[in-house]
Amino acid sequence: MRGRDTDRAGFAVNDGVRIYYEVAGDGDPGVLFVPGFQIAPGRQWKMQVPFLAREARAVTYDPRGTGRSDRPLADYGMEALVGDALEVADQAGIDRFVVVAISGGARPAVALAARQPGRIAGVVLIGGSIHPGAAATPTLSLEERRAWALRDYAGWARDWWATSFPEPHSSKPQDDGWEWAQATDAPTLIATSVHGGAAMDVRAEIERVHCPVLLIHGTWDRRVPHEFAHEMQRFFPQSVLVTIDGAGHFPHVRDPVRVNLLLREFVADLAARKVA
Amino acid sequence: MRAREPARSGFVERGGVKTYYEQFGEGEPTVLFVPSSPIMHSQQWKGQVPYLAGHFRVVTFDGRGNGRSDRPNAAQAYADEEVIADTLQVMDATGTNQAVFVVLCHAWWVLALAAAHPERVLGLIAIAPAVPLAPVHPNRAKYLESFDELRDTYEGWAKSNRHYWLKDWRGFVTFFFGKMLPEAHSTKQLEDIVDWCLGTTPQTMLLNRDAAHFPRTKEEAEAVCRRVRCPVLVIHGDRDECQLPARGEAVAELTGGRLVIVKGAGHVAPGRDPVVVNMLIKDFVESVAEPKPRHIIWERAMQRPRRALFISSSIGLGHVHRDLAVARELRALIPELEITWWAQHPASVVLEAAGERMHPKSHLQALESAHWEEESTQHDLHAFYAFRRMDEIFLANFMLFHDITRETPYDIWIGDESWEVDYYLHENPELKIAPYVFMTDVIGFLPVDAANDPREAELTADYNAEMIEQRARFPYLRDLSLYVGEDYEELPDAPFGPGLPNIREWARQWFEAVGYIVPFDPAPYRDTDALRMRLGYGRGYPLVMAAVGGTAVGRHLLRRVAEAVPLLREEVPDARVVMITGPRIDPRELPDAEGLEKRSYVHNLFEHLACADAAIVQGGLSTTMELVAAGRPFAYVPLRRHWEQQNYVSYRLSHYGVRTRIDFDQATPDRLAATLQALLTQRPVYREIKPGGAQRAAERIAALLKRG
């Protein structure tokens, strides 16, 4: 059973690609949860939605390439991802909203904030990555990893999640991760990376982002190492960085209470800052 | 003593009227505390300023008619437009383009200012706002129409009258603010407010009453509120007899602001509920300020080392040694425990010398020992009144404690007579987020002069009653209450006050006795010759030690001891007197004498006292009990009006068989010399202090941290 039933679900259509979204709560402002790598669909926010929906309108969606959304084998570039997010926001009926993004989801989130300053009230980046350099150096090459995923998807995906949750006693999040991974497959994941993904760079757009920014980053993040959080704080001079000592790449899954409280406080502060 | 002094102060002048302002702290934004003038002045914010100045820039001023500002003699001088112009000029003089305004009651003109000058007002906190959006409180309304008429009686709210004001201004404000403070145990707040009200006159208040104030009608008030564009927070007590909460609700609604109702609170929440008001102000200011880049580190729970925060009260040096002894025993039981100390000068000197880790923000505390020194003259410290006047220091230090315990998660808070922490935690029990241990050797207040000062007897009973009620209502707040004593018979056999429990009986019920804590094993100190050789005093002559603890209160006693030295040496020519002045008394202030050596600080003071052939000390508990433990002959001179030294310490010392108490009035150089001469020939027999107090305390504390 879910922690909270969805109030409304549907599909947003962006250039013919259907994006599945869910809405919970109807408070103001909206909160749009932007996913990153397609190995994790909208359900990764299951610990946030029931809490935030009490006071805000929480909107989650499966990114193109997984879950109930379409899985094209190309077209995972910036324009497509930003378009998906905006289309979902429109369909969910959130006009001005906070964007909460994980990992590579930071790129469309930042682009959105730069291009739609009137709509984006604030940005939260969790384990955020804004350019191709901000990634841990893996032991295997890109080709080797792709070959492994195609040959042994379960083994590769389980390893991916084990690396993402280095915290002790993470068996449940790791099992959840494997379940989420099964909402897509290796060829689609490879397509997301070949046709967009980690190659995108939004550094050039950052100077147009003026809204409040909250960065949340674990010191044990083995996907986007913590040093990049400091780099990001230099890019966003207005930002608050919350370092979670001992957390991996998905603190919203593994440390949900702390992350939920941070999100609520961030959203509440924005709501209090009435425009003069 | 004030908890925080201004960084800058000065006057602005408009049309010959001077307005006094003060500025505190740095950083953006500025918080401007508006006075409820002329009835009060800027001191009304004494509970807020020290805390908020630690986070923001703070400006206060005395409105015309009170405090250090002028008192013009014409009604029009008190019109709202004049006060608004003063406020803007204070802002200009302090370089304040914009501020968050905080106002109690007198919100009507601040709302007008916010509506007319939106560029100057970043946000507005209106506490119990007086704006005619809802009816006047019925109690006050009854006599409003006939304010100017002579009345047959001036009982109750009928005191709200021109003629009564002029006849008995103190009587009026005492009645009025008594009603404003319906909360139990508000004696200090009422006393403060009456004092501030006496800073103005009924004549000034009547001029102010006749001045032009805005808005007059509900419609005007609504229009003003609707023009306010900045974020607004309204705080209102539901027992407010000055302004009905409906007024606060209306202000919040019309300005689109947030409303916080404080249930059970009267009109003066900043004074009576300062902790919650301070936190609301801080949150609000942060929410309207430009976000600043920050880096916050949060440790996952299982990442955290075991940490204890040891709050060592610093009024004297007495407690810090026993706290170190407890810490030593605690480390023996839990070697990995990281102990951080929350203490002030002079205790911090001892802790640093012992290689202990001070909390890096310890030094930001308002200095308690400076307050005690300021309060004491001629070996006379009215400890209870001094304690009572320390309210703003206690509050400022509690707020700091609150902040640092949210910044670092501790596994336990251990407080040795941590009065401010204990009191404000009971006032705000939801702020307890760690196991909390309170230890003390003194329980309750007793008057020192009940016959001549009935007020003191009333107030000490009220403080005791509040403590008893707090403990009964929130017993879970302390996980451990440790009584530093072996036997409850060491406590005075007296009630806490009329109709209140007996001190011994109540202590037995609410505390666990761990025994007296002597910070050292007295056995090795019984061989005074060896000790004297080790400390470099040598043998073969009578050695007298004089010490007065860590504060400067004992300066006058030391002076008399210095004057007694030549007299003593007439009788005992080879006697040598060593005087330890402590870190806060300069030895050069005291007279020199043949055979007298003055030292400002010695490490491990008790070793030096323990090798003396006779000692003279103040009535501080730790020092006297250490002398009992070491079996040394000594005389003690309790501070004259110190409730603890006069009552509790004397009780305990007589329980252990100490007989030589000298009252300061009798402590002439002659008497001191004679007493010392007699002590040099004595071998006293004291009741034994059972060893292991520190270990027993540590065991009880460790059980909260670890099983098995």
Helices (H) and strands (E) in chain B, counts: 28, 21
pLDDT at B692 over 50: yes
Q: Do B230 and A276 touch (CB under 8 A)?
A: yes
**At how many degrees (to 10) do helices A256-272 and B274-288 cross?**
70
Average pLDDT over all residues of chain B: 94
Residue of chain A minimizing CA distance to B233:
A272
What order do you get walking across the sheet with B17-24 strand by strand?
B8-14, B17-24, B57-61, B30-33, B99-104, B121-127, B232-237, B258-262
pTM of the model: 0.90
Beta bridge partners of B340: B309, B357
Cα dihedral A142, A146, A152, A158 sign: positive
pLDDT at A276: 32
Q: Do B287 and A244 touch (CB under 8 A)?
A: no
Q: What percent of chain B has pLDDT over 70?
A: 99
Contact call for residues B91 and B32 (beta carbons, < 8 A): yes
Q: B173-203 pLDDT, tens per residue?
A: 999 999 999 999 999 999 999 999 999 999 9
Top mean-pLDDT range of B116-125, B134-143, B283-292: B116-125
Region for B195 from its dihedrals, namely left if φ exceeds 0, alpha if ψ lies in -120 to 50, beta otherwise: alpha
Asked if A276 has any chain B CB less than 8 Å from its own CB, the reply is: yes
Q: Cα dist. B239→B127, B242, B532, B647 in Å?
A: 13, 9, 66, 39
Chain A interface test: which of B100, B280, B285, B298 (most A C-beta within 10 Å): B298
Q: Do A243 and B286 touch (CB under 8 A)?
A: no
Cα dihedral B681, B687, B691, B694 sign: negative
Mean pLDDT calculated for residue range A84-97: 97
**Which residues are within 8 A (CB) of A141 and not within 5 positions of it... i.e. 6 or more apart?**
none
pLDDT at B79: 96
Q: Does residue B626 sit in helix, strand or coil?
A: helix
Question: Helices (DSSP H) in A93-127: which residue ranges?
Answer: 106-115
Chain A interface test: which of B227, B283, B285, B295 (most A C-beta within 10 Å): B295
Residue A180 to residue A102: CA distance in whole angstroms: 15
**At how many degrees (to 10) do helices B621-630 and B318-333 cross?**
70
Mean pLDDT calculated for residue range B385-410: 95
Residue B464 corresponds to which amino acid?
A: N
pLDDT at B314: 64
Average pLDDT over all residues of chain A: 94
DSSP characters for B659-696? --B--GGG--HHHHHHHHHHHTT-----PPPPS-HHHH
Residue B316 to residue B347: CA distance in whole angstroms: 7
CA distance between the termini of chain A: 44
Asked if A242 has any chain B CB less than 8 Å from its own CB, the reply is: yes
Residue B39 corresponds to which amino acid?
A: I
Residue B585 to residue B681: CA distance in whole angstroms: 30
Q: Are strands A240-245 and A213-218 parallel, antiparallel or unpaired?
A: parallel
Q: A200-209 b/e with 16+ CB inside 10 Å = b?
A: bebeebbeeb
Q: Does residue B11 sit in helix, strand or coil?
A: strand
Q: What is the dihedral of CA B92, B96, B102, B107, to 10 degrees?
A: 40
Give the number of A-B residue pairs with CB atoms closer than 8 Å.
64
Residue B649 to residue B478: CA distance in whole angstroms: 25
pLDDT at A14: 97
Considering only CB atoms, B298 lies closest to which of A242, A273, A276, namely: A242
pLDDT at B647: 87
Q: Do A245 and B298 touch (CB under 8 A)?
A: yes
pLDDT at A275 over 60: no
Considering only CB atoms, A246 lies closest to which of B231, B288, B300, namely: B300
Residue B128 to residue B567: CA distance in whole angstroms: 66
Calculate how close chain A gets to B225, using CA atoms only, in Å.
Answer: 14
Residue B194 to residue A196: CA distance in whole angstroms: 72
Per-residue confidence band for A273, with pLDDT thresholds at 50, 70 and 90: low
Other CB atoms within 10 A of residue B81 CB = 16
Q: B479-516 pLDDT, tens per residue?
A: 999 999 988 999 999 999 999 999 999 999 999 999 99
What order do you get walking across the sheet with A97-102 strand by strand?
A8-14, A17-24, A57-61, A30-34, A97-102, A120-126, A213-218, A240-245, B294-299
Per-residue confidence band for A27, with pLDDT thresholds at 50, 70 and 90: confident
pLDDT at B125 over 50: yes
Which range is least confidently modeled, A139-143, B98-102, B583-587?
Answer: B583-587
pLDDT at B551: 73
- A212 contact residues in B (CB cutoff 8 A): 291
Cis amide leading into A72 (omega within 30): no
Q: Do B298 and A168 touch (CB under 8 A)?
A: no
**Which residues are within 8 A (CB) of B635 and not within 5 positions of it... i.e. 6 or more apart?**
B614, B615, B616, B617, B660, B661, B662, B672, B675, B676, B679
Q: Do B293 and A238 touch (CB under 8 A)?
A: yes
Q: Do B287 and A269 touch (CB under 8 A)?
A: yes
Per-residue confidence band for B378, with pLDDT thresholds at 50, 70 and 90: low
Half-sphere exposure of B63 (CA within 13 A, CB side): 30
Half-sphere exposure of B657 (CA within 13 A, CB side): 13
Q: A155-212 pLDDT, tens per residue?
A: 999 999 999 999 999 999 999 999 999 999 999 999 998 887 667 889 999 999 999 9
Identify the residue with better confidence: B375 or B174.
B174
Residue of chain A minimizing CA distance to B114:
A276
pLDDT at B293 over 70: yes
- A167 contact residues in B (CB cutoff 8 A): 300
Give backbone dihedrals phi and psi of B203, rounded to 5 degrees, phi first.
-60, -45
Q: What is the Rg, in whole angstroms, of the alpha carbon atoms belonging to chain A?
A: 17
Mean pLDDT calculated for residue range A244-264: 97
Residue B487 to residue B514: CA distance in whole angstroms: 9
Q: B195-240 pLDDT, tens per residue?
A: 999 999 999 999 999 999 988 899 999 999 999 999 999 999 999 9
Which residues of B touch chain A, with CB atoms under 8 Å apart?
Answer: 118, 229-231, 256, 258, 284, 286-288, 290-300, 302-303
Asked if A212 has any chain B CB less than 8 Å from its own CB, the reply is: yes
Q: B594-648 pLDDT, tens per residue?
A: 999 999 988 888 889 989 999 999 988 888 998 999 899 999 999 888 888 888 9
CA distance between the termini of chain B: 47
Task: Say which DSSP state A200 is in.
Answer: -
What order do you get walking across the sheet with B576-580 strand by strand?
B596-599, B576-580, B543-547, B614-618, B634-637
Contact call for residues B128 and B242 (beta carbons, < 8 A): yes
Contact call for residues B384 and B459 (beta carbons, < 8 A): yes
Cα dihedral B449, B418, B586, B581 sign: positive
Contacts of A178-181 with C-beta under 8 Å, sequence gap 24+, read A178/A154, A180/A39, A180/A40, A180/A41, A180/A43, A180/A44, A180/A66, A181/A39, A181/A40, A181/A153, A181/A157
Kindly state the greatest CA–CA separation across chain B. 92
Mean pLDDT calculated for residue range A66-76: 95
pLDDT at B685: 92
Q: Are strands A8-14 and A17-24 parallel, antiparallel or unpaired?
A: antiparallel
Q: Does residue B234 sit in helix, strand or coil?
A: strand
Per-residue confidence band for B369, with pLDDT thresholds at 50, 70 and 90: confident
pLDDT at B379 over 80: no
Asked if A41 has any chain B CB less than 8 Å from its own CB, the reply is: no
Per-residue confidence band for B570, with pLDDT thresholds at 50, 70 and 90: very high
Q: B18-28 pLDDT, tens per residue?
A: 999 999 999 88
Name the residue with tokens 């409906």. B246
Residue B84 to residue A240: CA distance in whole angstroms: 37
Q: Do A274 and B118 touch (CB under 8 A)?
A: no
pLDDT at B436: 98
Contact call for residues B594 and B566 (beta carbons, < 8 A): yes
Name the residue with tokens 């060829």. A187
pLDDT at B670: 96
Contact call for residues B465 and B497 (beta carbons, < 8 A): yes
- B229 contact residues in A (CB cutoff 8 A): 274, 276
Q: Do A272 and B288 touch (CB under 8 A)?
A: yes
Which range is least confidently modeled, A48-52, A201-205, A261-265?
Answer: A201-205
Where do the DSSP E strands lie in A25-160? 30-34, 57-61, 97-102, 120-126
